Amino acid sequence: MKKWLAIAYLFTVSLSGNESANHEEIKMGKMNQSPKYIYKILSLRNWQATQNSKAIQLSAEDDAFVHFSTEDQLEKIIGKYWADAPQVVILKIDSNKLEGELAFERNAGGTTKYYHLYNGFIPFNSIVESRIVYQQPIDTCDRQTLDIVQVGDPVLRQIAKDLSVEEILSPEIQNLIETMKVTMRAAPGVGLAAPQIGKALQLVVIEDVDHSHLTEQQLAERNRYPVPFHVIINPRLYIEESDDKVEFFEGCLSVPEFVGIVPRAKSVRVECLDERAEPVVIQAKGWYARILQHEIDHLNGTLYIDKAQLPTLITAENYVKLLKDKSVKQIQAALHDLGG
């Protein structure tokens, strides 16, 4: 891997005999011939979801079986499949504590063999160690994150003030932008407005590149596509009155633990300045348009719960358990039935 990759250890799990006794011995295949440790790569988003739900949150690619790597394969796998991710989480797994059928085999059409787990799962007591790999320069990685303001703080209800060109180009705002980027990625989120870190300024950072937790069908349904990191300052949002609304669940880093259905315009036009104080016009559709509307609402003292359909508010944990894998039409039908 690149020499400037920084690794931060989150925790080391100490395994006890009582924990391992709760799991039946794996009898499948040639487990005794597998290496003592194998590795699982997760997005930071999925790892954060794991902390909240107390169950290992896997990506859509792990549907038929769970993909693993050996230590020697990690660099190649990250470079091939995770190159665009700002950071990834690597779990070191005790292969003898996995539940299921572990096979060493080639991917379809490939020549290299990998470990795949069938009909099983990753018990928490199999995780020996976890670490985050930041795929960005050290000076950015070392930057501390900011506290995210929570609902009830008055700053979230203020109208943020515009920034002058001189202010945008100042070291203070340039440093703030970099720190907001790190904070957004660490949360993790797809957008962060300055009021969310206690600054009533017309400033937003956005990035939506990690879609590993979604299937191709879900991406298509939500018209969600990669959006690289960028900054919007003093934005002006334009929505055609005739533009149809699209309803879907939203969450917010400032309103933790809950999500709710919010109607948003399918497409928007935003005029703003970038981090160099240069004028930019953004034409956005689909999920990107939703992100822009959500974040610009923050600059005007509005939260998504102000626009959400209140009967649809649900805990994030229950959303993952009950609705995450359903299509938009299925969710709407289910909510319609509940409403009579």
Residues 85, 183, single domain; the answer is no
User: pTM of the entire structure?
Assistant: 0.63
Residues 129, 162, single domain; the answer is no
Is residue 216 within 8 Å of 199, Cβ to Cβ? no
Instruction: Determine which helix (DSSP H) or strand (DSSP E) holds 24, and give its type and residue range.
Output: none
Nearest Cα neighbor of 307 from 319, 317, 296 is 296
Q: Is residue 109 part of a domain?
A: yes
Q: Is residue 64 part of a domain?
A: yes
Nearest Cα neighbor of 61 from 86, 83, 81 is 81
Residues 188, 297, single domain; the answer is yes
The reported pLDDT for the residue numbered 262 is: 93
Widest pairwise Cα distance in the chain: 67
Q: Is residue 139 part of a domain?
A: no
The reported pLDDT for the residue numbered 300 is: 97
Q: Is residue 172 part of a domain?
A: yes
SS3 for 334? helix
Reported as a pLDDT band with limits 50, 70 and 90, residue 40 is very high
Residues 180, 317, single domain; the answer is yes
Total of domains in the chain = 2
Q: How far apart are CA 202 and CA 111, in angstroms?
A: 52
Residues 96, 238, single domain; the answer is no
- CATH value at residue 315: 3.90.45.10
In single-letter form, the type of residue at position 60 comes to A
Q: What is the 3-state secondary structure (H, E, C) of 212-265?
A: CCCCHHHHHHCCCCCEEEEEEEEEEEECCCCCCEEEEEEEECCEEEEEEEEEEE
Residues 96, 184, single domain; the answer is no
Is residue 185 within 8 Å of 44, Cβ to Cβ? yes
Q: For the segment 183-237, what is each residue's pLDDT rounded down to a tens digit?
A: 998 888 899 999 999 999 999 999 998 887 777 888 888 899 999 999 999 999 9
- CATH value at residue 82: 3.20.170.20
Residues 39, 159, single domain; the answer is no
| Residue 250 annotated to the active site | no
Q: Is residue 128 part of a domain?
A: yes
Q: For the segment 82-98, what is each residue's pLDDT rounded down to a tens digit?
A: 887 777 889 999 999 88
Residues 298, 190, single domain; the answer is yes
Catalytic pick from 24, 178, 295, 317? 295
Residues 301, 268, single domain; the answer is yes
Is residue 298 within 8 Å of 184, Cβ to Cβ? no
Q: How far apart are CA 119 and CA 160, in angstroms?
A: 52
Residues 239, 315, single domain; the answer is yes
Q: For the segment 263-285, what is each residue's pLDDT rounded down to a tens digit?
A: 999 999 999 999 999 999 999 99
87-94/191-193 β-pairing: unpaired
Q: Is residue 177 part of a domain?
A: yes
- Per-residue pLDDT averaged across 10-27, rounded? 33
User: Which structural domain range is residue 83 located in?
Assistant: 6-134
DSSP label at residue 3: T
Q: Is residue 1 part of a domain?
A: no
The residue out of 134, 152, 186 marking a domain boundary is 134
Residues 176, 60, single domain; the answer is no
Residues 128, 193, single domain; the answer is no
Rg (CA), the chain: 22
